[in-house]
Structure formats: structure tokens, C-alpha cells
Structure 1
């Protein structure tokens, strides 16, 4: 088979992958895509056991392994690492996908006064703002770092094509570029931090042959986007006007599958420090720093 044949170029055959937040939304989409396309093991991490088990049951037997854990707890992350180490001994990819929306500006009147704005924000506990960063930034960072030795072992295992080095992949967001409020102040700011941390890790870990990349999704079906979708199926073309999303729809399972398979296969092996935007053109109609 030619080296540029699609079955070779986009193969994740035999890969061992960890996906946090794998019980729903983007994490579920990524876990399904990897399992359906030949990954040897996909460990999905989350706090809700029933959601994790539901995803595992829907995939090829034994490929998706549910592990209950909390990325805001260092002890929990370390425990997960030890479980993966005992089971497989190495990983090729860690997808730090767990996310939290945090406090929003919903509920304010149209054209709010400065008094309205102050009252709304000051009524929100500071701990809620901080927790958004604890999940989206701190949890992401410590997850990536905790698996470094197993990622190094993945390089040495040699189960991937020679030029496909181990990597960490974080789930960022186009919110990290959005200068409007979007989901909320802490969410957007935290995703900006995710993007920058990934670029820093790509340089710092480069000499150790471990890559760092991120996805910056636009609107996809997930717990975070549920309030905006209001129960409708946004994946159908025409669900949104072109001046809101030029593609006129949210992303779907195939869109996310294409992105994660590109990043984790030989096709994306030359990416390092990259923030891969997948948004149907949404940022083109927003006030962004992109």
C-alpha cells in the first residue's frame, strides 16, 4: 500500500489514547472515532461512571475503557495514570478535553446599565470563576504533565509509524479568540490560556520528542452549547443563518472525527504547537483576535 493511501495516512491502528471528559460531547465523539478506526485502547476519563460506561458499550468490545476520575484532583489524575500504566504500560496520545463553562452573562436585560453589569457579576461567587480555570487550564496542564513518562514510553514502544511522535492534545475553543463575551468571561479567558500553554509545551517538550497541539472547536453539540441549541438539532444544514455560522450548522460527529484522526495519525505528524480551528467559518463573523 502506498504511503499516501488514505488507509495508511490516516490510520490510528494500534494507538493507545487517553481522553478526559470522554463521557459526553466532544470527548465522546473523539473516543468513538478513535475506537472505530483501529485504536488498540481508548481510556475515557470522567466523573460520571454511567456516562462513561454508556460510551464504552457503544464501541467495539474492550477498546474503550472507562475510568472514573476528576482532573481538578492531582491524586485522582495520578491514580488514573497508574491504572493506565498497569494495563497498557504506555500511551501515544493524551487528549485533555475536560471542560467547564463557568459563570455567564445570561439573564442581563438588553443594553444593561453599568449598575446591572456590576450587580450581575458581583452576585457570582469568585469560586465559580476560579473553578472554570481549575478545570479548563489547571486540570488540562496537570493531565498532560502526569502522563509524560507514559508518552515517552509510547515513543519507545514503536507501535506507531516512525515519524508519529507521542503528543498531548488539548481542547481549546474559538472562544479563546473571541473578544465578545460568548459563553462567558472566565470560559473565553481560560481557553486563551489553554492555547498559549499548548504552544509553551510544544517548545518545552520538543527535545523529548513529545508534541503538543490543540483543537479550537466552534459550535458542536455538547453540555456547554446546550443552552444555545435549546433542544434543536443544530447539525442539520440550515439550522443557523449564514451570518451566524457560514456553514449554517454546528459541527457533528464526522467533523470531529476528521479532526482528531488527522491530529493523531501520520497525516498530522508534522504538527506541533498548532491550534487547529474547526468552526464552520464562525470566527469570520465574530470580533476575534485570530
Structure 2
């Protein structure tokens, strides 16, 4: 490595020219990530989610930013738990852009609350709290929906968008399709590639899947509920499994595990997420998540694969955690 190499932060940590899809991109961390990427030159950002009105408002907000092109953000109403709906979203992206550089699996829900179990004074009370989310007829109810939304959707959306991520690699000159173990993925550089937006010879990024989990996936202390902790732990592992599974296909997979950030999800439970439990003494900020996402999708993060990036102000350090 040459220490005389010029360092340009705007080049290393930038989404310039990228085509991105974000589930749950209409609010909270997803919208913050979308804003950071839009403001650093992303070519197109597809906001996926069930609430069309929220997505539309988010897209309008992003497109109205001073340094963002008017058609950068696109609202794409999608039920991430429906294979047909996700396939329709993939088809829409393929028609308009032809590829994806980054897929962000961010959508999530808190699920049935069980934190009151910590205060239970009898076995009966404990049972009542822990059975929240299960139907009286024995159905899985909200428990199953939490696992479906927070975990299964990661696999569903990723699988449905793989051909777009593969096309993203091909657009950058990388050999498309499967490359057997032990072989090196070839890149054929041509002057034509250099004319494509967001592509240059020194840019060694390959397509990437980012899964937004939570530090709850490592925390043995109940935060929102048992289902939430379990689903986020599973989401982390899905992200790790995908990193290994997709090696022959040249698609990277990394995980973001946020702590407490301002959002509709945490805002309703401020008393359950006090900043006194965060060594940093505050909730995460826009700059915190923006800096992380721009590193991960930028050239500076091109060597990341199979990683888990914890951004929690040290909160996880104060709780019993997995090992």
C-alpha cells in the first residue's frame, strides 16, 4: 500500500451512481440511509414497504433535497412477506434500471411485548406475559408474523433480487454467474465501462446485500419481546449464511446491528430504551447511521463481506449478551 495515495473522503464514502433498494425505506433508519445515499449521488433509490402514503411522502422529501436529482427516490409499494409482491417489485426495478448494486433488508416490526415478564411475581403472571402473541386456539399469531417480517423476508427479498445483483456485477465488468471455489472472479475492463455512471477501473466493489438487524439479536435481556430478540438473532445469522452461500456468485452480504435510534418503533417506548443505558449518553443520530452506510456501500467498504457492524453507543456492553 502506497502511503502517498491521495485520500478523498467524498470518493471513499459515497453512493455515487449506485442503484439501491431499501425495504422499510419510508421511515426511521431506512429513510436516514436513503437520504445519506441520495445526498451523495445515488442514481436511483427504491423505497419498498406496505404503506404507499408513507413511501410517497418519503420519496418526495428526498427528491426535494437541494443536492438530489428530482427522480432519485422511487416509492415502490411492496408486501415483503409476499413472494408475488416482491417478484413484482423486482420486475419493476429490472424494467427501469436493469440492475441493483445494493439491497438493504431493513423492514421490521417489534412483535409481541414480553418485557413485563421481568416484573412478574407469580408463575401465572409470567405465563400470561410470555403467551402474548399466541392465539388462544394455539395459533402462532403475532409471533409468526414477527419471524416472517424480521427474518424470513430477508431470505425472500434477497433471493428474488439476486438476478439484479448479478446484473450489477456484470455492469461493472465482473464475470457474472457462478465461479467455482478456488477460482478468481475475472473482471474485463473496457473503455465502454468507464463511460458508465458510477463505474471506474479502480472501483473494486461487487454487489452487496445489507441486512439491518439489531443489537437485540445479541442481547439476552428482553428489550421489546422474546420474538423480537429471536427474530433479529436469526436475521443476523441469515446475513452471515448468505455471505458464505453467495461467495461463488460474487455477491457480498453484511449486517448492520443498530442500537437505539429515533424511530416510530422506539419512540413509542422511550421509557424502555432510556439513554442512561447507553454509555454514549444519547440515541444514535443521523450522522451515525449515515457515516456507517456510506462506508459500507462506498469504495471504502468494498472489502467487507460477512461482517456485522454494531452501532449502539456501547449499549450492548452493559447487558448480558451472546458469546
Using the size of structure 1 for normalisation, the TM-score is 0.92
Q: 1:218-229 residue pairs with structure 2 within 5 A?
A: 218-229=259-270
Match of 2:208 in 1: 167
Q: Are the equivalent residues in 2 in contact too, given 1:168–1:213 (CA < 8 A)?
A: yes
Q: How far apart, CA to CA, are the structure 1 residues paired with 2:282 and 2:305?
A: 29
Match of 2:228 in 1: 187
Larger mean CA deviation between 187-196 and 120-129 belongs to 120-129
Q: 1:24-39 residue pairs with structure 2 within 5 A?
A: 24-39=27-42
Q: Are the equivalent residues in 2 in contact too, given 1:15–1:160 (CA < 8 A)?
A: no
Structure 1 residues not aligned, in runs of 5+ = none
Match of 1:62 in 2: 71
Q: How far apart, CA to CA, are the structure 1 residues paired with 2:129 and 2:275?
A: 29
Match of 1:285 in 2: 318
Q: Are the equivalent residues in 1 in contact too, given 2:120–2:126 (CA < 8 A)?
A: no
Cα distance, 1:160–1:136 mapped onto 2, change above 3 Å:
farther
Q: 1:51-200 residue pairs with structure 2 within 5 A?
A: 51-59=54-62, 60=68, 61-107=70-116, 110-125=119-134, 126-158=140-172, 159-161=198-200, 162-200=203-241
Q: How far apart, CA to CA, are the structure 2 residues paired with 1:72 and 1:281?
A: 33
1:62-109 CA distance string (max 9 Å, x none): 100000011110000000000000000001000010101100114558
Deviation at 1:214, TM superposition (A): 0.8
Structure 2 residues not aligned, in runs of 5+ = 63-67, 135-139, 173-197
1:251-279 CA distance string (max 9 Å, x none): 01111111110110111111100110000
Match of 1:267 in 2: 300
1:210-244 CA distance string (max 9 Å, x none): 000010000001122122226xxx9xxxx832xx1
Larger mean CA deviation between 10-19 and 107-116 belongs to 107-116
Cα distance, 1:186–1:154 mapped onto 2, change above 3 Å:
same
For the aligned residue pairs, the C-alpha RMSD in angstroms reads 1.8
